[in-house]
Structure 1
């Protein structure tokens, strides 16, 4: 083993050196190459770690870790301890030690250095792994340096690092650790800078936490730091909040550090220093072409140093494509995926389908779309989710008042945001815009024959029901394709289904369902203040003609038939859903279950979990979920909770609600009675448009699956389902001869990463701001701190003063004085976090954001004002904690 492979200077490194130098060192090399002020140093490469690890006998531990589930934190911790002990007891080879010390001598004679872990799974674009391995500050002398390097190697196997890797599905066997040795900056003031707001997501907004002494006080959450927010473009300091900064961590002359009590009533940074930091952060972001989380220090001479930089991994991606509008025209985007109850990402084929459906909607309204497959400009993608440009709605005289009312029913949280935005002068209504909207809506209504359908359904609801049945037949006919069609003909047919057939056909049933809700609105107008809370909602219970409810009840009846045969029922209680699905595929379930499920799938096999995504398997493709539902139904012993009993009870309660409202109506009784009868008869059709749309999506999926098989035979895809990780233009190019196997591998990895994302903004701005993360005002009695990780959670508090031996039940809210990386395993089950100390960029805040749990930090006396067992509400956006009980 030669010395050059064991030690390399920062100047020798760049972002391609991840496997050799780890994320932290590779990023430092990039900063040096960019000419940014980085303290000199070198890296002990992963080759040195692997040399020592090879002699440590880690193989049995690694094998055991591979078989341990992420939820078994106790066993993970035990195995981590085994790995640490093996590494700490292994000697550093002489050649390795000499290479390290030679690099140290290049920095000076026994100079103080910072020794930092740099793992290959660290400071990555998808996961920062912040604080999961150890750092040792102000190390002086050869023996102390070698000891710190050995301890860094062992810290690859801390409890927190092992738990974090398991949570993020990182293979323990593949990670290795390099060690950064960097000249120590004896900082007068230090801290953390994010080049984008990590809580709200807003880009081009520098967020700085600063405190006297070494930056470890800020990173560890040991102090409440000074907090500054700067507009990067203008240099304007937007926010200035001073912390108490009661202690500083300072270097000792002979090595090591000490905690010193301080009194700092003034800001520890001048305005010039704040702006200089913002500029330095901007340079760093520009070099990496992505927002950065940096650590910095200012020495006694006033020189500013960058000591670390890593990607900000928790930011939700910006919409793509961003509109080419004026610089100050910040757009508003609404997440259509979340509105459909879908937080998971959409497959590329699912996104492609929505783009073509968007084209279909635009053309119905008379809008010309330049590229039909790309969809109208109002459709964008962010984080593999579907977003719509909401700005034109806000600027429309009529839509800005109508749409929030619709949101009140389907997406109440978005309704609150939309009404707030209506008061923003940037989104003032444009004169004459209401007429343009009414003209387009009239055009759509006329083409869908909506007025006639609505009137006919009000006169005789059976007309609406027959209309829905005819549309089902029509959809089946229009989505059929000849069995001898070529792959190109099948693709053309898919494009016709999505771009011409699906929405116009599915939407034609909407007026009949809409008639029921218009009449419900009429009743609300007529009764006015006579209505009690929940009156109208009660009318909508157990609606007849609801295709989704009918489906659920049919599945329940199948479960009852299975229950009637003890052998079949026993099989369902003893086998897992996966095993039951395998038996069904082989035709080996008991006849009553085999035939019953096959019959159910003939009617409902086109449906699925996340069914609006064309790329998701249908139940006819994989009935595992249904078999799990059947097994759960068979475990239901309380007859009062049976779905058919609950439905019947709901129908009786709805009729009683109708009678109550009619009795309140006075002279309007005949009108109210007629309206509510029509509501009950028609409102159940509200599920029918989606039913028809999903029917069309299943037909399109079926054709794409056949194309996928052809592309596998042609060696352009690896497996047939890979076709769903291409858009329609890419499928066409594959049919033309292009090999997309490498592209699909990349897409699947990106999709798997997005599946782990926990927080999806309902509405966001084009600068990345999550509008729901802006928070609300505090009320009297609330505990107020610093917003650290957006989101809201209500749960039981668990006050923990020491993480050793502590346990949190899933969903409990961790209340702590402060947290460092040793607390990380508790985050796995925590529903939220409240800390007495720390800033928005302290370790606890960073990990809370990565785990997607709401967090408020810097809450004075939180551990004494909150007691374990109390119910509390944590609003991570506003920094407010409310004690409920």
Structure 2
């Protein structure tokens, strides 16, 4: 062991020495060299570990390996003893410092061992050996494997250094985040502090004080501090905290500011926000660990807690088109929709009831969230209009023919007219005009969807009620089993992608390339793929996107659709290539065969009169569910073109210095966009808006963490509306209540999907938890064990497709995405319309299954347009 690099003074290593000193050692040495207060110490480098593990046969690369390395050699023990003696021979902290920890992409915090209060040469040498062995514990191996699967790559060669430092007998210790780890705000530091050594804070065995240090104030949350970690002879132990210290603050305001200032200097030195372990002794702070904060969210503003209404006296609802807008709106789309949504609703009312006066309806945002705003007069008008609207909707063929023969073709013509224009040749103001016209056309078309919803609702309510109360047999199929196996746009898109995958599998080199996660589909063929094969693949791929690339994830125009960001479609193609999504053709055929068999069995048991009634009711329900899906899927037809126009405008504003990114155009108000577009056309200078955009994005992130109420003002005699809303008001108990979407019960691991960016991480057998599920989410249903949403009812996309796949679904829970985290084990009870978050505290559902299904159907129609009102009247009459 003659290598002079096996043990080095801590001050001799720096941030560039990770492979020699490990992440922890490199960072501490860097701080010590830079003059920051760090306890003195030395590093037993990776050279010693590698030499020892080579002799023992333990692997040192990758994430595998098991067992332990051989004991410390006599030669190394002598070097460690000399280094320990140079520190004075007192109590020290011996800390593992692997080459795969404290990295910018992965902290690997707590996966290897640390020993505090170690005294004596033999004890120090033994602690070094135990730190080496901790690299291969089952816990550490599993953590590294999970990190590699998540793409947080560690160095190819895995090794271990050990840091030995003088132990500071701290009066107070804890952790400092130089940026807020929850909100991501870089202008706030968060300090946790407890009495004694920091092990109790890091290990989570004590409730510490918390200090949030901002530029102008400190927010303090006192912890119980019931225990503390103290040094003993040769180690540390937990002891009860004296009563008078449990209630006492661990840091003064001045001390908290001083520590935050020290952390800010450390973050500036490393060039990124830091997660710092600190101790306070003798009135001075010292740093015992520093690493980058991993997975730090983008900065976000405060979370709204009050919901003031813009017009006192009005009634506000989050329903109907708002079901497709689960997040706060982008400023540009909010302004565009503010005129387009009321205009579309007014157009429908004027057609169905010409005598109805102009409706006083607005579409504002509150804390960014969209609401329908009905004046009291407009609310009364809608109720008086209901009979006339119902009469029109009840006319034979009116709703379907109006959609198929008039409104959908008109919508397509508007889209085609703007799609034919070359964006680069249009004036900037024309680009904005085109986008507004397409938003207007979309919102007008949505009123057609609103007219289809009540007809589909009536048909399914009638069939389900008839079946559950008259036709159902003991242990027989439920009403939904008679409604599956039919084509609709989401199913056709799924089959199209499956067929493309089947063709790709005929060309092994192509299939292999497409399953490579890093692949981006471009004009050039990947290495090893023949040019003619790639050209044919691109033809079929482009045809699929042309036919189905308009399916929406979220109606807000700022959200990409597959036509302009096809990565989620590529994820779905990989599912099919890897055989993880099943054969939709075979599934549909099997469902159709089963449906026809149970239908024949049911009808054969009925008398002629009841049979005629049942056949008619079932035929209507079977006809309208796919029509509703087709009508809804067309809602995004204008979005690829509208986004292309706005992308052109955004690019021009980037070139002129007004914006940092073309996508930032959505964060402008319409007035700002119009002014900037006019300046561009006139050749005038444009004002920079990047700081305004960034501030709005920060505020939006905070707003997104809120759960908006379904109606306002809350209380005030409107509680009777709750059963008609597309989401429930969520409490904080162990069970979330919602609406039955699809029957059955499943327990499994939750996966919260915020949008298409999360598709690739979704694993087979997980439970899909999302704010909404639109037709573009269909590829996930083939892998999901169940579905839970914040918003939606029994006639929403999630319900219909979940029934097609035969998986339980509970929709409209109100706050599933806020209450459930990825990895949580939850139970989805589709019949009971509930999601169990904590089995230990939950009580069994007691509602009658058929009654719950019928009730769920009766609440499925979105409030906010004539469709809901018409369906409500129909229910009362029948």
Task: Using structure 2 for the length normalisation, give the TM-score.
Answer: 0.51
1:273 counterpart residue number: 246
CA offsets per residue over residues 666-716 of structure 1, 9 Å max, x none?
6xx877665543333222222234422322222223335556776898899
| Alpha-carbon shift at residue 482 of structure 1 (Å) | 2.2
State the secondary structure of the residue aligned to 1:588: helix
CA contact (8 A) 2:435 2:646 kept: no
Residues 386-785 of structure 1: pairs in structure 2 closer than 5 A? 388=369, 438=379, 454-456=393-395, 461-467=400-406, 469-477=408-416, 479-480=418-419, 482-483=421-422, 485-486=425-426, 488-489=428-429, 491-493=431-433, 495-496=435-436, 499-523=439-463, 529-530=469-470, 532=472, 535-543=478-486, 546-553=488-495, 576=514, 588-589=532-533, 599-607=543-551, 614-615=559-560, 617-618=562-563, 624-625=570-571, 628=574, 631=577, 642-646=586-590, 648-649=592-593, 652=596, 659=603, 674-704=616-646, 706=648, 723-724=662-663, 727-729=666-668, 774-776=732-734
Structure-2 separation of matches of 1:272 and 1:598:
68
Specify whether residues 702 and 156 from structure 1 end up closer, same or farther in structure 2 by C-alpha distance, changes over 3 A only. Answer: farther
Please state if 1:139 is matched with 2:139.
Answer: no
Structure-2 separation of matches of 1:531 and 1:292:
65
2:39 to 39, 42, 45: 42
2:62 to 65, 69, 76: 76
CA offsets per residue over residues 172-223 of structure 1, 9 Å max, x none?
4599999584644388x9999999999999xx9x99999x9976578658xx
State the secondary structure of the residue aligned to 1:606: coil
Structure-2 separation of matches of 1:444 and 1:21:
74
CA contact (8 A) 1:138 1:251 kept: yes
Specify whether residues 691 and 79 from structure 1 end up closer, same or farther in structure 2 by C-alpha distance, changes over 3 A only. Answer: same
CA contact (8 A) 2:175 2:201 kept: yes
Specify whether residues 634 and 142 from structure 1 end up closer, same or farther in structure 2 by C-alpha distance, changes over 3 A only. Answer: closer
Specify whether residues 489 and 227 from structure 1 end up closer, same or farther in structure 2 by C-alpha distance, changes over 3 A only. Answer: closer
CA offsets per residue over residues 397-422 of structure 1, 9 Å max, x none?
xxxxxxxxxxxxxxxxxxxxxxxxxx
CA contact (8 A) 1:471 1:506 kept: no
CA contact (8 A) 1:235 1:275 kept: no
Structure-2 separation of matches of 1:334 and 1:878:
31
1:185 to 157, 162, 169: 169
Unpaired stretches in structure 2, ≥5 consecutive residues: 15-21, 213-217, 268-272, 309-315, 346-359, 710-727, 737-745, 750-762, 767-784, 786-818, 827-834, 845-878
| Alpha-carbon shift at residue 465 of structure 1 (Å) | 3.3
Specify whether residues 506 and 534 from structure 1 end up closer, same or farther in structure 2 by C-alpha distance, changes over 3 A only. Answer: farther
Structure-2 separation of matches of 1:310 and 1:517:
56
Please state if 1:853 is matched with 2:823.
Answer: yes
Unpaired stretches in structure 1, ≥5 consecutive residues: 9-17, 34-39, 62-72, 370-374, 380-387, 397-432, 755-759, 779-791, 796-808, 813-830, 832-848, 857-873
Specify whether residues 460 and 851 from structure 1 end up closer, same or farther in structure 2 by C-alpha distance, changes over 3 A only. Answer: closer
CA contact (8 A) 2:94 2:114 kept: yes
CA contact (8 A) 1:115 1:149 kept: yes
Structure-1 separation of matches of 2:822 and 2:417:
44
CA contact (8 A) 1:294 1:308 kept: yes
State the secondary structure of the residue aligned to 1:114: strand
Specify whether residues 686 and 875 from structure 1 end up closer, same or farther in structure 2 by C-alpha distance, changes over 3 A only. Answer: closer
CA contact (8 A) 2:10 2:28 kept: no
Structure-2 separation of matches of 1:151 and 1:440:
78
Please state if 1:166 is matched with 2:148.
Answer: yes
Structure-2 separation of matches of 1:337 and 1:154:
58
| Alpha-carbon shift at residue 80 of structure 1 (Å) | 10
State the secondary structure of the residue aligned to 2:547: helix
Structure-1 separation of matches of 2:686 and 2:78:
54
Specify whether residues 93 and 634 from structure 1 end up closer, same or farther in structure 2 by C-alpha distance, changes over 3 A only. Answer: closer
Structure-1 separation of matches of 2:429 and 2:455:
39
Structure-1 separation of matches of 2:181 and 2:730:
14
State the secondary structure of the residue aligned to 1:76: coil
State the secondary structure of the residue aligned to 1:520: helix
1:376 counterpart residue number: 365
Structure-2 separation of matches of 1:595 and 1:215:
61
State the secondary structure of the residue aligned to 2:456: helix
CA contact (8 A) 2:307 2:366 kept: no
| Alpha-carbon shift at residue 516 of structure 1 (Å) | 1.3
| Alpha-carbon shift at residue 517 of structure 1 (Å) | 0.8
Task: Using structure 1 for the length normalisation, give the TM-score.
Answer: 0.50
Structure-2 separation of matches of 1:24 and 1:363:
61
1:112 counterpart residue number: 91
1:429 counterpart residue number: none
Structure-2 separation of matches of 1:634 and 1:298:
54
Structure-2 separation of matches of 1:692 and 1:854:
35
State the secondary structure of the residue aligned to 2:637: helix
Higher relative contact order (CA 8 A, sep 6+): 1
Structure-1 separation of matches of 2:223 and 2:630:
50
CA contact (8 A) 2:27 2:290 kept: no
Structure-2 separation of matches of 1:89 and 1:515:
85
Structure-2 separation of matches of 1:23 and 1:876:
40
Structure-1 separation of matches of 2:734 and 2:599:
40
| Alpha-carbon shift at residue 273 of structure 1 (Å) | 1.0
State the secondary structure of the residue aligned to 1:77: coil
Structure-2 separation of matches of 1:336 and 1:659:
36
Specify whether residues 621 and 315 from structure 1 end up closer, same or farther in structure 2 by C-alpha distance, changes over 3 A only. Answer: closer
CA contact (8 A) 1:519 1:679 kept: yes
Structure-2 separation of matches of 1:494 and 1:551:
28
| Alpha-carbon shift at residue 473 of structure 1 (Å) | 2.0
State the secondary structure of the residue aligned to 2:115: strand
Specify whether residues 199 and 674 from structure 1 end up closer, same or farther in structure 2 by C-alpha distance, changes over 3 A only. Answer: farther
Structure-2 separation of matches of 1:881 and 1:307:
44
Structure-2 separation of matches of 1:337 and 1:113:
64
State the secondary structure of the residue aligned to 2:109: coil
Specify whether residues 141 and 629 from structure 1 end up closer, same or farther in structure 2 by C-alpha distance, changes over 3 A only. Answer: closer
Structure-2 separation of matches of 1:141 and 1:465:
86
2:781 counterpart residue number: none
